[in-house]
Amino acid sequence: MKEKIDSLLGKTLTVIMGLMVLNVLLQVFARFLRIQVDFTEEVAGFLLIWVGLLGASYATGKGMHLAIDLLPRSKSIEAQKRFNVVINTIVLLFALSVMVIGGFRLVYITLSLNQLSPVLEIPKGYIYLVLPLSGFLIMYYSIVNMKNENPFGE
Amino acid sequence: MEIFEILVLVVSFVVLLTIGVPIAYSIGISAVITMLVSIYPVPAVTTIAQRMATGLESFTLLAIPFFILAGQLMNRGGIASRLIDFAKVMVGMLPGGLAFVNIVACMLFGAISGSAVAAASAIGGFMNSRMEKEGYDKSFSAAVNITSSTTGMIIPPSNILIVYSLASGGASIGALFLAGYLPGILVGLMLMVVAGVFAYRNKYPTSESASISEGFRKMLNALPSLFLLVVVIGGIVAGYFTATEASAIAVLYTFILALLYKEISFKDVPSILLDTVSTTSIVLLLIATSIGMSWVMSYENIPQAVSEALLSVSDNKIIVLLLINVILLIVGIFMDMTPAVLIFTPIFLPVVTELGVHPVHFGIIMVLNLSIGLCTPPVGSVLFVGCSVANVKIEKVIKPLIPLFIAMIVALILVTYIPEISLWLPAIFDL
Amino acid sequence: GKENDVRVIKLAHVLNPQHSVHRAMLFMADRVAEKSNGKLKLEIYHSGQLGSESQCLELLQIGSLGITKVSTASMEGFAPSYKVLGLPYIFRSKEHMFKVEDGPIGKRILKDGEKAWLRGLCFFDAGSRSFYTKDKPIEQPKDLDGMKIRVMKSITASKMVSELGASPMPLPFGELYTALQQGVVDGAENNPPSFYLTKHYEVCKYYTLNEHTSVPDVLVISTIIWDRLSDQEKQWLQEAANEAVPVQREYWAESEAEALAAVKAAGVEVTQLTEEEKAAFSDQVSVMYEDYKQDTLVYNLIQQIQAVE
Ligand code: NA
Ligand code: NA
């Protein structure tokens, strides 16, 4: 299950990152050729939100986020496991409250008030959907991470 | 009363950090908890969600993944070895030559890639074994490699200066980039002085000087890599493109270069992109939650409270800057550079601007200061990478690091109290 | 405790503390405190500390921010009746505009935002926009023929400039100074304080006060916060807002006069138009009102505004 999600998420992120590069190169070359392309800045902003938050969930799955783990490391392996459960519960609660609940509320507000992006006129709510989506992924990865037998490595 | 909110923020943040919650999440959670003091839960979490999303919606920030991608391409694209050869031609004949080569190569690679960690691993990987073979002390080589790698954070292009520009509410990126040159070079020179004295005392050898034609060939080899700096910085300063567009150009340029050197091929692209996303999203999540936290701080009037407290100690510029430098050095010991810049810029910048410090100058002070923290335990990404590529224990590196730290602190004091070191170049280019 | 008896409403905007709107808000905060004997307080955040105009509107809808100030143009998406305020020459004069804003039409427009959880409290004056050009002065609509004029990204603005015979160029505001310098555009349009503060007068030496649009600012309160107030508190707040209106108008007039004096001193030729000369401009764009024939809400408002003496 985790491998499948990792691989799908990884592929999605690779594609978004590739699009980001192409999008900005398009802007630069259009400028040099004096062609008017007005959507690149807006697209760049949206792709960045998606890559940042989806990527954050990917990095959570891989345990890559920076942390100061001196205290848990200094404890016995049993205590380390307890620390790990507490840490991942806290991360899960953040993802649930801010990203899932707060994110859905934001999506609801912007969709029900029909807020559109200025250039492409995409409903802003669709852009913000990445918040609850990443939130769910982070919750899932936190649960998986809780079962880690040797949470602080070495 | 702000005191209560400050207490809630600081205590929750420190507790979360200490038990080992990732920094980015600790920032976001303590922001939410602080907000709950004054408003209901649903608006609180929705606001943080909105700040996280809109905070990332910035064209300027796009330069960060792109410079990281360019750095990845350089790492795999055979650019490090060419820069080392070039550095050898330049400074290899001096006593303790290899130490100088290490410093110059780290400065060049750090400058171009914009990543201290990349410089420490790419250059350290090559240099440490060569230095050991010629009789250098292993931990000394690692210490030199670690400290000099940080100069790439100040010598442009620099992601951290882009982050600072964002946190400062729009200090000019062009001006920040130009301002970084002399302080970065100054740090490099100070490190060379220490390395030179150490090498002289231990009678380390000079490396054999290359023939003129050989030297010339090596310089030519490095030229395309060095030319990237001209394209990127020249393009920004001359106003041909923005920092973000420059970062995309850097990606294209290094990609073509790496293809020409036959070090990578098209099938490596997906894995390079995914590596970039992983590194980037760690930074972006930090930025997203920090933007949430700095919003909460403004909302609770915390910067004003801290600022009043600081200015009540003294309103003398020299003393306040000294105080801020000491606080930041302590912060840097425990915290990585990006969150530190994001959290402390909105707090300290209004204080120092009121005392007449230029925002660009303060950005350089901050980054220079926090670079020292990158090389100290317990949280020091460059220290960890430097030690692991050199295969030495952290405890062993501390002793040779101390004189190098002193050199960096002297450079920091000079840069803090002589604003011209930072502001002279931007002034020449009218930025 | 005693602290809990005090209600604090947070007000955030993007203008600097010297701006007439910010100074009027300080006045409003004082009035609210006086009326309520310190029981109701406004806490003001200036210079975009809590976000941009659109982000602040979103925070109002989320319920973490109480009040913000936006251009009425930003409200058009939420409440269509605001559209009428953006039409060129919809007001015959400043007096006419104030009378509409202070009267029943103004009240109705302010209430129109409630369905998007954004209740208007009052209008603030943001002056009138006029053309400034680089190479030759504009005295009549004919002078605009073939000129490239930078406009805001808005259909109404582009339409108006085309009707006057010029080509509209929707450039980002940040690129405008260089675009004027390099001759990418021949001119632009804005109110006197903005013309002065953006330093566009360094490049454009002709400023014609044709005053084509007078898009006001509006002070908006989140209905989430508004509904939580007692009737007494609502009254204090609304009265204080109404009292701040004439104060702001006076401050704005001062800043406009200062800006005009400053650009004149910098060598800009400022052209005042007579009523007849101005009518030449307004006649040419009046066809734009017909576009709203299908939109009964806006069309009725146009006619009601024109009927105000
Ligand atoms: Na750099
Ligand atoms: Na450190």
Report whether pLDDT(A48) > 70. yes
* Residue A88 resides in a domain: yes
Q: pLDDT: is B359 or B163 the higher one?
A: B359
Residues 95-154 of A with CB under 8 A from B: 97-99, 101-103, 105-106, 109, 127-128, 130-131, 152
Question: How far, in Å, from the CA of B335 to the mean position of ligand 2?
Answer: 6
Whether A131 is in a domain gets the answer yes
Q: Tell me if C62 and B35 make a contact (CB, 8 A cut-off).
A: no
If you measure from the C-alpha of residue B113 to the centroid of ligand 1, how many angstroms do you get, rounded to a whole number? 6
Task: Report pLDDT for A142.
Answer: 97
Q: C117 to chain A: which residues are within 8 Å by CB?
A: 113
How far, in whole angstroms, is CA B337 from its chain's centroid?
7
Tokens at C163, concatenated? 């009707």
Which value, to the nearest 10 degrees, does the dihedral of the CA atoms of residues B255, B257, B261, B265 take?
Answer: 20
* B333 CA distance to ligand 2 middle (Å): 3
Contact C88/C213 with Cβ under 8 angstroms?
A: yes
Is there a contact between B299 and C63 if contact means CB atoms under 8 Å apart?
A: no
Least confident of A29-33, B164-168, B398-402, C293-297: A29-33
- The residue ranges of DSSP E strands in B47-175, in sequence order, are none
Confirm if C36 and C233 have CB atoms less than 8 A apart.
Answer: yes
Instruction: Tell me if chain B has a CB within 8 Å of the CB of C10.
Output: yes
The CA distance from B329 to the nearest CA of chain A, in Å, is: 17
- Kindly tell me the burial class for residue A74, based on how many C-beta atoms sit within 10 Å of its own C-beta (0-12, 13-18, 19 or more): exposed
- Note the pLDDT tens digit of each residue in B122-142: 788 778 878 888 888 889 989
Using pLDDT thresholds of 50, 70 and 90, give the confidence band for residue B239.
confident
Of the candidates A114, A115, A118, the beta carbon closest to that of C153 is on A118
Provide the pLDDT confidence category of residue C4 given band limits of 50, 70 and 90: low
Which of B 49-88 lie inside 8 A of A, CB atoms? 49-50, 52-53, 56-59, 61-62, 65-66, 69
User: Average pLDDT of chain A?
Assistant: 91
Q: State the Cα–Cα distance between residues B158 and B312, nearest whole angstrom.
A: 35
Q: Which two tokens stand for residue B159?
A: 């992601």
* pLDDT surpassing 80 at residue B210: no
**Per DSSP, which regions of B127-214 are E strands?**
none
Residue B87 has pLDDT above 70, yes or no: yes
pLDDT tens, position by position, C53-80: 889 999 999 999 999 999 998 898 889 9
* Closest ligand to residue B334's CA: 2
User: Residue C126: pLDDT band by 50, 70, 90 thresholds?
Assistant: very high
What strand order describes the sheet that includes C217-222? C40-45, C7-12, C67-71, C217-222, C118-124
- The minimal CB distance from A24 to the residues B52, B245, B379 is found for B245
Of A106, A113, A116, the CB nearest to C116: A113
State how far residue B57 is from chain A, nearest Cα, in angstroms: 4
- B307, two tokens: 């600022």
Q: Do C62 and A105 touch (CB under 8 A)?
A: yes
**Residue B378: is the preceding peptide bond cis (ω within 30°)?**
yes
Long-range pairs, B54-58, Cβ under 8 A, ≥24: B54/C51, B54/C55, B55/B287, B55/B288, B55/B291, B55/B292, B56/A45, B56/A48, B56/A49, B56/A52, B56/A53, B56/B284, B56/B287, B56/B288, B57/A45, B57/A46, B57/A48, B57/A49, B58/A45, B58/A48, B58/B166
Lowest-confidence segment of B234-248, B262-276, C33-47, C285-299 by average pLDDT: B234-248
Tell me, in angstroms, the distance from the centre of ligand 1 to residue B231's CA.
Answer: 14
C 31-70 residues with CB < 8 A to B: 45, 48-51, 55, 58-59, 62-64
Contacts of B29 (CB under 8 A, 6+ apart): A90, A93, A94, B12, B16, B21
Q: What is the ipTM of this complex?
A: 0.89
Domain count, chain A: 1
**Chains within contact range of chain A (3+ C-beta pairs < 8 Å):** B, C
Residue B128's domain spans which residues? 2-428
User: Residue C169 has what DSSP assignment?
Assistant: E
Which residues, 6 or more positions from A61, have their beta carbon under 8 angstroms from its beta carbon?
A: A2, A5, A6, A9, A137, A141, A144, A145
Total domain count, chain B: 1
Choosing among C56, C61, C169, which should be mutated to test the A contact, i.e. which has the most A CBs within 10 A? C61
Question: What's at B363, amino acid-wise?
Answer: G
Asked if residue C2 has pLDDT above 50, the reply is: no
Q: Quick: pLDDT tens for C85-107.
A: 999 999 999 999 999 999 999 99
* Residue A108 belongs to a domain: yes
pLDDT 10s digits, B28-74:
999 999 999 889 999 999 999 999 999 898 877 888 888 888 888 88
CB contact under 8 A, B277 and A55: yes
d(CA C31, CA B11): 38
Whether the ω angle into residue B157 lies within 30 degrees of 0, i.e. cis, is yes
Tokens of C266: 């910098």
Q: Is A135 within a domain?
A: yes
Window from B304-318, C46-60, C261-275 with minimum mean pLDDT: B304-318
The more confident residue out of B394 and C128 is C128
* Mean pLDDT on C112-138: 95
Half-sphere exposure of B382 (CA within 13 A, CB side): 35
Average pLDDT of the residues in B231-247: 79
Rounded to an integer, what distance in angstroms lies between the CA atom of residue B375 and that of residue B119? 13
pTM for this one? 0.85
Between chains, do B53 and A64 touch, taking CB under 8 Å as contact? no
Per-residue pLDDT, averaged over B380-386, amounts to 83
Q: Which two tokens stand for residue B375?
A: 């090389």
Determine, for residues C77 and A115 on separate chains, whether the beta-carbon distance falls below 8 Å: yes
Q: Which residue of B has its CA nearest to C54?
A: B54
CA dihedral (C263, C267, C268, C272) positive or negative: positive
Q: A154 lies in a domain?
A: no
Of all helices (H) and strands (E), which one includes residue A96? none
Q: Which residue has the higher pLDDT, C174 or C29?
A: C29
Residue ranges with strand state E in chain C: 7-12, 40-45, 67-71, 118-124, 129-133, 148-150, 167-169, 187-190, 206-213, 217-222, 269-272
Range of the domain at A84: 2-146
The long-range contacts involving C21-30, CB below 8 angstroms and separated by at least 24 positions, are: C21/C69, C21/C124, C21/C217, C21/C248, C22/C46, C23/C247, C23/C248, C23/C251, C24/C124, C24/C244, C24/C245, C24/C247, C24/C248, C24/C251, C25/C69, C25/C244, C27/C243, C27/C244, C27/C247, C28/C240, C28/C241, C28/C243, C28/C244, C29/C240
Average pLDDT value for chain B: 87
Q: Is the separation of the CB atoms in B158 and B180 below 8 Å?
A: yes
Which residues 33-52 of chain B have a CB within 8 Å of chain C?
35, 39-40, 42-44, 46-47, 50-51
Closest to C284 in 3D by CA, of C160, C167, C175: C160
**Residue scoring higher pLDDT (B249 or C111):** C111
Give pLDDT, residue C32: 97
How many other C-beta atoms lie within 10 A of the C-beta of residue B343? 20
Sheet with C148-150, side-by-side order of all strands: C167-169, C148-150, C187-190, C129-133, C206-213, C269-272
Give mean pLDDT, residues A64-80.
87
Give the residue-averaged pLDDT of C39-61. 91
Residues near ion ligand 1 (CB < 5 Å) are B 111, 114, 152, 155, 158
Is residue C268 scored above 50 in pLDDT? Answer: yes
**Average pLDDT of span B290-316:** 86
Per the CB < 8 Å rule, is C61 touching A113?
yes
CA gap B301, C29 in Å, rounded: 17
End-to-end CA distance of chain C: 53
Q: Would you tell me which residues 22-81 of chain A have a C-beta closer than 8 angstroms to some C-beta of chain B?
A: 24-25, 27-28, 31, 41, 44-46, 48-49, 51-56, 58-60, 62, 64-72
Q: Tell whether C104 is within 8 A of chain B (Cβ).
A: no
Give the tokens for residue B130: 């060569």
Is position A152 within any domain? no
Q: How confident is the model at residue C1 (pLDDT cuts 50, 70, 90)?
A: very low
Has residue A19 been placed in a domain?
Answer: yes
B46–C55 CB contact, under 8 Å: no
Q: Give the integer Cα–Cα distance in Å for B237 and B425.
A: 11
Instruction: Confirm if C130 and C209 have CB atoms less than 8 A apart.
Output: yes
Task: With beta carbons under 8 A apart, name residues in chain B contacting A68.
Answer: 17-18, 20, 23, 334, 378-379
Banded pLDDT at A108 (limits 50, 70, 90): very high
Q: Which conformational region is residue B297 in: left (phi greater than 0), alpha (psi within -120 to 50 degrees), or beta?
A: alpha
Other beta carbons within 10 angstroms of residue C145's beta carbon come to 10
Query: What average pLDDT does range B363-384 have in this prediction?
Result: 89
Tell me the CA–centroid distance for residue B368 and ligand 2, in Å.
13
Whether A153 maps to a domain, the answer reads no
Whose CA is closest to C209, among C191, C193, C186? C191
Residue with the larger pLDDT of the pair B213 and B52? B52
Residues C10, B299: C-beta atoms closer than 8 Å: yes
